[in-house]
Structure 1
Amino acid sequence: MQTTPTQSPSDRWRFHRAVWRWHFYAGLFVLPFIAWLALTGAAYLYQKPIDRWIHHDLKVVEPTRGTPASASAQIAAVEAVAAGRTFRYTLPERADGSVEIGVQQPDGTRDVYYVDPGTARVLGSLPDKGTFSGVVRRLHSLDLVGRWASALIEIAAGWAILLVITGVFLWWPRGQRGGVTRVRGRPAQRLFWRDLHAVTGVWVGAVLLFLALTGMPWSLVWGKQVNAWANGHNSGYPAGVRVDVPMSDQRLADATAPSWSMEQARLPASQLAHTRAHARHAAPPQQQAHEGHESHAGMGPGDLSPQPGAIGIDAALQRFNALGMAPGYSVSLPRGPMGVYSASVYPEQVNRQRVVHMDQYSGRILLDMGYADYGVLGRGLEWGINVHLGQQYGSVNRLLLLVACAAIVLLCASGAVMWWKRRPAGGVGIPPLPHARRTVAIVFALLCIGGIVFPLMGLSLLVIGVLDYVLTRGWRSS
């Protein structure tokens, strides 16, 4: 954020010039992403009230005065107008909210139908994740770029962390008074934009660092590895949290949108199907092969037909309600003979998160997991993500993040204006190298430590470092 180096031979100014160069590179690559994430993130903070306003005809109904229609009647009303099968049933959070019924079409696409719970009248439908909040979330997560979105998130978040660390080093007071806590000059002057960038950066830097770190769980390499590790160790799911039941190959994320730490969680298998599986092993080989093929087909993503002997959605909801599930929970319907009813809810307060799996035949609870059952790592990550989403502390959380998002956009804009005013005509304006090549190498080596922690950022850092080394003939200052 400090942009005018001196020719002092002291170590601090030599390091200052080297750090400034990498701060420039970080800003060059990451500022457009940061501005985009701040703008889309600000919109997502208020996604629920905006959703109710934009999709009012689908999401808002007259509160039910009498006995509401049964869930099975609501599902039947939807399947009478839809070509597919129901895979998810979501209760409303509020008394004037509609029921949301997810339907998987024969071609594999998914739609959500909105139903008045009092009358079972179908209000309309949208593609799954087709609401305002769904679109904004896709924009925020960079889904527009396709399969490499999570890789870009990791690279952008890693460079944002590097940007904050180098920015604080450059801002650190070295006897100067201006540009530390106050802005000097006027908007026509580059000094004004330099000070505005520095002062804004130091105030919002901690929030930007927090958002970058808590956004990492959605990244390709770092997030995937931490997720897999958290789901296989006591720090994620302590011993005894998963009860002693056979596990299926299905995952909770196949039917609903679970919290980050539950994305890799497998679903238990219903006991009647497990008993049948044991019986198959004692059957003749020909019968084993035939039944094994049927069982495998039953596990497929399109097999949503009700199974003989299952208790049904109405009885399942009665049991879930008796457990005290928070309002607005979703129930994923069983898939095939080994499937289970899975209820999940992720309210604003992270300590109310809960996932319950129920045997589809006996109604027995196979797993009942809440936030308190997570390990230290799982609880910390879930808390960070909830704060990142503006949920954990209600309106105060959202308002603070909204102000932070505006400050981040200002930080990006002031950095761009400052660079534009400083750059030479026809040039890029890369900060000059210090005279000592050893200083550049030391700074680069220190930054590579962060690259080890965040591999994709480290790989891009290495590429830029090699190019910089080659193009400057071995980091020789001109």
Structure 2
Amino acid sequence: MTKPWRGLVLRFHFYAGVLVGPFVLVAALTGVLYALTPQLEDRLYAEQLRVPAAESSLTLAEQVDAARAAHPGGEVLAVRPAPEPGATTRVLFADPDLGESEHRTAFVDPATGRVVGDLVTYGTSGVLPLRTTLDQLHRNLMLGEPGRLYSELAASWLWLVALGGLALWLTRRRAAADKPVRRRHAVLGLWVLVGALFLSATGLTWSTYAGENVADLRQALGWSTPALHSAGGHAEHTTATVPVAASPEDVDRVLASARAAGIDGGEVEVSLPAGPGQAWKVAEIGRGWPTQVDTVAVDPATFAVVDRVDFADYPLVAKLARWGIDAHMGTLFGPLNQVLLVLLGLGLVTLVVLGYRMWWLRRPTRGFGRPVPRGQWRKLPRAQLAVVLVLAAAVGWFAPVFGVSLLVFLAVDLLLGARRTRARRQQPEEPEEPALTG
């Protein structure tokens, strides 16, 4: 790396790290808390999750009836049969007072039909209140959709700061590398580099603006997750003669049809039809390894499987997305996945702290001035500078939060530079203020 390039990368890495560090710090800390919650929830909600194991159990329809008796007038949306002896069956109800993707869930003892608890669960993974709170804290700071900008900002910059650090390490000078704080920061950065890139990429797929562009790109290239046709299936399938009203009483027959069709995952969700003419949906919902997320549609009149989507038929990118999301959530490889996420999160926290420590040690009031003089970009050949600008514009378009924040950084840099120039003219002996970018 030439000297102008190293100077530009150093200034960009340093100031970008200082400015986005707080967002990365919060995202890492809340991510660590989220990764630790499965075992905490097992203890906290043991009364709802566990019951004495029994050799026999009631039918699912009988369990649903018990849940409906405890929630008179409630609309049953789905049933999650107990995945193993000693576990409870979940019956999910619609509740207009709850938020998006939230359900009122009754926990039923499969052996006795006794409703042992009632909790609000969230999302496809059916997480319980503790993890829902930490999930929202990690995702949007409990501020709703506007709060998601913080996590998107962190994800948008993390990969660039990480790669900048790698470039600096590869072109390091021994004298600089011998400084203890900088050496620890560099070595730790290498250890967490791959994980940081992974968190950044998977985080962006969930984000508001970049995530939408990722979805559009996948759809345009045919990389989207295949959709289940629950209103008639594919052209080669036929459904029942006349649309019939589905009844929760049919849940056992529906599940039996799905099992016969190869839905053999331990954790499944049986969803009632969304309306007349729609099919039941039976989906594998286990998020461990090996991945089991096959789904079938079952006709409410004939109980025949009229459509299916198997994980084996996903496009490669859709499979990678599924694995990436599950690994990001700490569920793909069980406790090992959780441990890796906790170590990665704590590593990022330490990196941010060490970065601020370096900034504090080199602050202008201690006489160090700016780490690298401004104007490094002027030293680049015009062709290379043009490539940088084009790439920055492309990334800024694809990840708008990154693009807007970059423009803000540049604007602030120009303002500070103009103010410093005026101060130099008025008081030449006054020390310069640090600028934000190269």
Give the TM-score normalised by structure 2. Answer: 0.81
**Cα distance change, pair 357–417 in 1 and its aligned pair in 2 (3 A):** same
* Matched AA of 2:70: V
Give the corresponding residue for 1:33. Answer: 23
The CA distance in 1 between the partners of 2:144 and 2:88, in whole Å, is 32
Of 249, 266, 277, 1:327 maps to 266
Give, in angstroms, the shift of residue 98 of structure 1.
0.9
Secondary structure of 2:153's aligned partner? helix
For residue 472 of structure 1, give the secondary structure of its aligned residue in structure 2. Answer: helix
Matched, 1:159 2:157: yes
Q: Does 2:105 align with 1:112? A: yes
Distance 2:367 2:271 in 1: 57
Residue deviations 1:391-412 (CA, integer Å, cap 9, x gap): 3334433333322222111111
Q: CA deviation at 1:229?
A: 4.6
Give the secondary structure class of the aligned counterpart of 2:281.
Answer: strand
Q: C-alpha distance in 1, partners of 2:31/2:230?
A: 41
State the distance in 2 between where 1:336 and 1:134 align.
Answer: 28
| CA apart distance, 1:386 | 2.6
For 2:238 and 2:208, the matched residues in 1 are separated by 33
Cα deviation, 1:275-325, whole Å, max 9, x if unaligned, reads: 56xxxxxxxxxxxxxxxxxxxxxxxxxxxxx92688721211222233343
Query: What is the 5 A alignment of 1:179-194?
Result: 179=177, 191-194=179-182
Aligned residue number for residue 410 of structure 2: 465
Shift of 1:178: 6.4
Give the alignment partner of residue 200 of structure 2, picking from 212, 226, 237: 212
1:282 maps to what in 2? none
Q: Distance in 2 between matches of 1:175 and 1:391?
A: 41
Counterparts of 1:96-107 in structure 2 under 5 Å?
Answer: 96-105=86-95, 107=97
Distance 2:248 2:341 in 1: 46
Please identify, of 347-356 and 213-222, the stretch whose mean Cα deviation from structure 2 is larger: 347-356
Alignment coverage as a number of residue pairs = 405
Q: Structure 1 residue 387 and structure 2 residue 327: aligned?
A: yes
Please identify, of 221-230 and 456-465, the stretch whose mean Cα deviation from structure 2 is larger.
221-230
- 2:51 alignment counterpart: 61
| Cα distance in structure 2, aligned partners of 1:437 and 1:150 | 32
What is the CA–CA distance in structure 2 between the aligned matches of 1:406 and 1:36, rounded to whole Å? 11
> Counterpart in 1 of 2:427?
none
Unpaired segments ≥5 residues, structure 1: 1-10, 185-190, 249-268, 277-305
Distance 1:454 1:168 in 2: 22
**Inter-partner Cα distance in structure 2 for 1:431 and 1:247:** 63
Displacement after TM superposition at 1:118 (Å) = 0.9
1:88 equivalent in structure 2? 78
Quick one: percent identity of the two aligned structures? 26
Q: Report deviation, 1:421.
A: 2.7
Give runs of aligned pairs for residues 191-270 of structure 1, distance below 5 A.
191-231=179-219, 234-236=222-224, 246=232
Which whole-Å deviations, capped at 9, do the CAs of 1:18-55 have from their partners, x for residues lacking one? 22222233223322222222223233334333221111
CA separation in 2, counterparts of 1:475 and 1:270? 74
The worse-fitting range, judged by mean Cα deviation, of 449-458 and 54-63 is: 449-458
Change beyond 3 A, Cα 1:105–1:236: closer
What amino acid sits opposite 1:463 in the alignment? V
Structure 2 spans left out of the alignment, 5+ residues: 123-127, 425-431, 433-438
1:27 partner SS: helix
Deviations 1:64-85 (Å, cap 9, x if unpaired)?
Answer: 222x112222222222222421
Partner of 2:115: 122
Q: Is the 8 A contact 1:150 1:218 kept in 2?
A: no
Q: Which residue of 2 aligns with 1:434?
A: 374
Task: Give the superposition deviation at 1:199.
Answer: 1.6
Distance, in Å, in 2 between the alignment partners of 1:65 and 1:371 is 33
Residue 17 of structure 1: aligned partner: 7
Kindly state the Cα deviation for residue 219 of structure 1 after the two structures are TM-superposed: 1.1
Over the aligned positions, Cα root-mean-square deviation in angstroms equals: 3.4
Q: 1:365 to 1:401 in 2, by over 3 A?
A: same
Deviation (angstroms), 1:426 = 11
Deviation, 1:197, is 1.5
Structure 2: distance between partners of 1:346 and 1:396: 16
* Alpha carbons 2:254, 2:303 under 8 Å: kept: yes
1:260-339 map, 5 Å: 271-272=239-240, 307=245, 312-322=250-260, 323-339=262-278
